[in-house]
Copies of this chain bind each other. A is one copy, B any other.
C-alpha cells in the first residue's frame, strides 16, 4: 500500500478510507498484513482523485458514478441518461422509458412547461428532451439565480449560448465509443472532468476577446 501511495501521491490513510468505502477494489493478499496492488488500482485511485478534486464531487456521488461505469446493463441510448442521473442522484429512475415515449418530450407540452422557463425555452428551440429530466430543473435554478443577481439572460443571449452548447455536445457525442461500458465511462467522466476545462477556456477566451477588441484598439497607435 505504501507503493500505491508513492505511485499516486495519495496518503496511505486516504487509500485505506477509499478501500473501506469500496471506491477502490481490495488488492490480492500476499500475507496477513500485505496485499499487492497493480496498475488497475493506480488508475482507480487517480480516477477517484480526479472526480473529487477536479470534478468537485463528494464521495457518495463518486461511488454512484463508479457503480454506473461498472454497470453492464446500460444500452447505448440510455448511456447519457444513466450517466447524468448518476451525477445528480438516484431519485429519477425511469428516464429511459420516458425517452422512448413521445409524450415524455418537452415539445409534448404539459402543465410543467408553463411554469418552467427552461422547459419552455428548450421546447421552443426544438430540443428533444424528457420534460422530467432533472437537468431542466438545474437549468431553471441556474437561470433564476442569474435573474436574481441582475445578469440579464434574455432569450437572445440564451439562444447564443444554446448554439455554443450544441457545438460542444456534437463534439462530446461524437467522441462516445460504441461499447456500452466504455461509453458510460466516457460520458460520466466527460461530463464531470471536461466542465472544468470548458470553464477555464471560457475565461481565457474572455480575456483574449476583451484584449483583442478593446486593448487592440489602444495599442494599434503604438505600432505593435
Which chain A residues have a beta carbon within 8 Å of chain B's beta carbons?
43, 46-47, 50-51, 53-56, 76-77, 79-81, 84, 99, 102, 118, 122, 127-130, 133, 135-136, 138-139, 141-143, 145-146, 148-153, 157-158, 160-173, 175-176, 185-187, 189-191, 193-215, 218, 224
Check if A197 sits within 8 Å of B142, measured CB to CB.
yes
Given contacts A160-B171, A167-B164, A196-B145, contact A203 B224 (CB under 8 A): no
| Partner among B56, B133, B215 whose Cβ is within 8 Å of the Cβ of A99 | B215
Report the Cα distance A172→B129, complex, angstroms. Answer: 27
Check if A204 sits within 8 Å of B167, measured CB to CB.
no
Count this chain's copies in the assembly: 2
| Partner among B148, B150, B202 whose Cβ is within 8 Å of the Cβ of A198 | B202
Check if B202 sits within 8 Å of A145, measured CB to CB.
no
Check if B205 sits within 8 Å of A149, measured CB to CB.
no
Check if A193 sits within 8 Å of B142, measured CB to CB.
yes
Nearest chain B CB to A106 CB, angstrom units: 9
Of chain B, the residue at the smallest CB distance from A224 is B102
* A interface: dominant SS: helix
Besides A50-B149, A142-B197, A191-B206, 6 more A-B contacts (Cβ < 8 Å) are: A56-B56, A77-B214, A160-B171, A164-B164, A166-B208, A169-B209
Check if B211 sits within 8 Å of A99, measured CB to CB.
yes
Measured between beta carbons, the chain B residues less than 8 angstroms from A173 are: 206, 209-210, 213
| Partner among B50, B203, B211, B212 whose Cβ is within 8 Å of the Cβ of A191 | B203
Check if B54 sits within 8 Å of A128, measured CB to CB.
no
Report the Cα distance A163→B139, complex, angstroms. Answer: 23
